[in-house]
Amino acid sequence: RKEVEQDPGPFNVPEGATVAFNCTYSNSASQSFFWYRQDCRKEPKLLMSVYSSGNEDGRFTAQLNRASQYISLLIRDSKLSDSATYLCVVKNAGKSTFGDGTTLTVKP
């Protein structure tokens, strides 16, 4: 079983839709959690950290459930520019483990 698992998608949604991604992790000792975004043929970039209490950044909301060992990302009012691959990242000590990513395509 992989340390970090994501539904690969692809998710194809119309503009304005709400879409949610989940990610599960196997190491209960994991300390910190992030969502990164990767555009085609580009490097991953931090989208947002995920805090225990949940956090929101504009149209993006991240949640952490330690008991069930999963994190989620909710995107509201999706834009064409949100089309990308979203990578879940779980960190323990200095080491980050990336999920394989969920691909989102937002269509007009």
Partner 1 sequence: DAGVIQSPRHEVTEMGQEVTLRCKPISGHNSLFWYRQTMMRGLELLIYFNNNVPIDDSGMPEDRFSAKMPNASFSTLKIQPSEPRDSAVYFCASSSSGSMWTDTQYFGPGTRLTVL
Enumerate binding residues for partner 1 (CB under 8 A): 31-32, 34, 42-46, 49, 87, 91, 93-101
Provide, rounded to whole angstroms, the least separation between the CB of residue 7 and partner 1: 14
Query: Which phi and psi angles does 6 have, rounded to 5°?
Result: -130, 150
Rounded CA separation 25/101 (Å): 13
Joined together, the tokens standing for residue 48 give 């947002």
CB of 107 to partner 1, least distance (A): 23
Q: Closer to partner 1 at the Cβ: 1 or 95?
A: 95
Q: What distance in Å separates the CA atoms of residue 58 and residue 76, rounded to the nearest whole number?
A: 9
Q: How far is the CB of 70 from partner 1 (least distance, A)?
A: 18
